[in-house]
Structure 1
Amino acid sequence: MNIIITGAGRGLGYELAAEALKRGYGVIAGVRRPDQEQTALSKLAETYGEKLTIAALDVTDEAGIAALAASLQEQGRTLGAIINNAAVLNARDTSIEALDFQDMLITMDINLYGPIRVVKHFLPLLTEPECSIINISSEAGSITNAYPNDYPYGISKAALNMFTQQLHVYVKERGIQVLSVHPGWMQTDMGGAEAPTNPNHSAEGILDLIEKRTTPEGHFMFVDYTGKDMKI
């Protein structure tokens, strides 16, 4: 299986790449600037060699995404999973009265339109058996448990959950699994050091979902990294 991962240079994205390689899969690790030092991924490359491809992938750059997809297709490479992991958390704890709409625009461009662009161009390559599209979401995207002040992030993740549900309906006849996954509050740059979840544990759970060791049973394709249904 080949897995493409966005935002793979650090945090959960890196852990997902490391776990996938550990399980014997090929990984296309998408980072915005592969020409800059990618210390963690470079160490993985030393261990796994050609199993790892570090690729330029900026989710806001549709032309670049299309070019990467075309390049992989020319190489005859197929995909078994797409993991839309790249995201930003802007305007944290900002009241609606103080909200800067530039933060909204940036967040929606990366957190929502980014996954849409990636799926648009990489879906034709998703031809391996038992394929999956994993959109990394958040409990912040639950309408049932909505809370104020994290407007850009929460709204973008709620919209991402809608995109997941639309995709699920669109590709279910092809046998493609589509999930929005809450990875937990993790010890990453975004989550902070006080977070209770090790991102490696979350990565293991997400790979288990891709391998269908865990099969979600709810109507809505919104689960946590253990496969437990989340409230939409």
Structure 2
Amino acid sequence: MNILITGAGRGLGLELTRIALERGHAVVACVRDRSRPSEELRELAERYPGQARIETLDIVSEADAEKLAAKLREESFGLDALVNNAGVLLGRDGGIADLSMDDVRRTFEVNLFGPLAAAKHLTPLLRESESGADIVVNISSEAGSFAGAYGGDYPYALSKTALNMFSKQLNEELKLRGIRVLAVHPGWIRTDMGGDAAPLSAADSAKGIMRLIEGETVVPEDVFFVDYAGRPMPL
């Protein structure tokens, strides 16, 4: 499979890149500036020459998404999977009276508008295989569930709720091409975002998500919001 992953320089994106390469997939690992990848990602690219490529895609730049799509199209490089992983977690502390609207705007730019732009320009490159294996994975969160709503954390929770709706809408459109779209809660994982107290490693979450991408974990057709193990999440 050819898999494009955003936010591949660290955390879950880096682990998804590592595991995909270990399983023999070709990976387009996207970071904000390909000339300045993380040391870990650079080492992966050197370890898997011809299989891993690092590309520039600042998730808040539609121009970057359009430019990358044009580059891949010129190379006749089709995609089998798009993983919208890049995200931010801002403005968690305090209630509505302390809410920073700048945090809200920035969060929506990264967590929602970024995946929208990436899907707009990159889903046309999905190869529409007869196996139905082509897939878009939007990394969401349990925070995006109405059933699990809690006070505060407005920027992140609202952006992930919107991302879930986008995932459902995109699935309804792309299923006509044999392409599946899933919103995936990765679990509470030990990353810079999740913190050291999180019970789940980024590697274990990434392994579960790769099983979804590869089709090893089967999700019923009427389900679009799942966790990393493919278990349905409450809406």
Match of 2:3 in 1: 3
Find the aligned partners of 2:183 and 2:2 in 1 and give their Cα distance: 20
Find the aligned partners of 1:113 and 1:32 in 2 and give their Cα distance: 15
Determine which of 220, 223, 227 is the counterpart of 1:224.
227
Contact 1:104 1:152 in 2 (8 A): yes
TM-score, scaled to structure 1? 0.98
Contact 1:3 1:79 in 2 (8 A): yes
Find the aligned partners of 2:136 and 2:226 in 1 and give their Cα distance: 13
Match of 2:189 in 1: 186
User: Which portions of structure 1, spanning 4 or more consecutive aligned residues, are displaced by more than 6 angstroms?
Assistant: none
After TM superposition, give the deviation of residue 128 of structure 1 in Å.
5.0
Amino acid at match of 1:193: D
Match of 2:106 in 1: 106
How many percent of aligned residue pairs carry the same amino acid?
50
Find the aligned partners of 2:94 and 2:221 in 1 and give their Cα distance: 33
**1:75 is the counterpart of 2:112:** no
Q: How does 1:147-166 map to 2 (within 5 A)?
A: 147-166=150-169
Q: How does 1:57-206 map to 2 (within 5 A)?
A: 57-127=57-127, 129=129, 130-206=133-209
TM-score, scaled to structure 2? 0.96
Amino acid at match of 1:153: Y
Amino acid at match of 2:140: S
Give secondary structure in 1 for the equivalent of 2:218. Answer: coil
Find the aligned partners of 2:38 and 2:221 in 1 and give their Cα distance: 39
Contact 1:87 1:110 in 2 (8 A): yes
User: Aligned in 2, Cα 1:173/1:128: closer, same or farther, shift over 3 Å?
Assistant: closer
Q: Which runs of 5+ in 1 are unaligned?
A: none
User: Aligned in 2, Cα 1:31/1:37: closer, same or farther, shift over 3 Å?
Assistant: closer
Q: Which runs of 5+ in 2 are unaligned?
A: none
Match of 1:41 in 2: 41
Find the aligned partners of 2:37 and 2:148 in 1 and give their Cα distance: 40
Amino acid at match of 1:67: K
Match of 2:216 in 1: 213
Find the aligned partners of 2:125 and 2:175 in 1 and give their Cα distance: 16
Amino acid at match of 1:45: A
Contact 2:128 2:178 in 1 (8 A): no
Contact 2:190 2:196 in 1 (8 A): yes
Contact 2:31 2:37 in 1 (8 A): no
Q: Deviations over 1:171-191 (max 9, x none)?
A: 112111110000000000000
Q: Deviations over 1:18-59 (max 9, x none)?
A: 011011010000000222252001111121111111011011
CA RMSD between the two structures: 1.0
After TM superposition, give the deviation of residue 218 of structure 1 in Å.
6.6
Contact 1:141 1:156 in 2 (8 A): yes
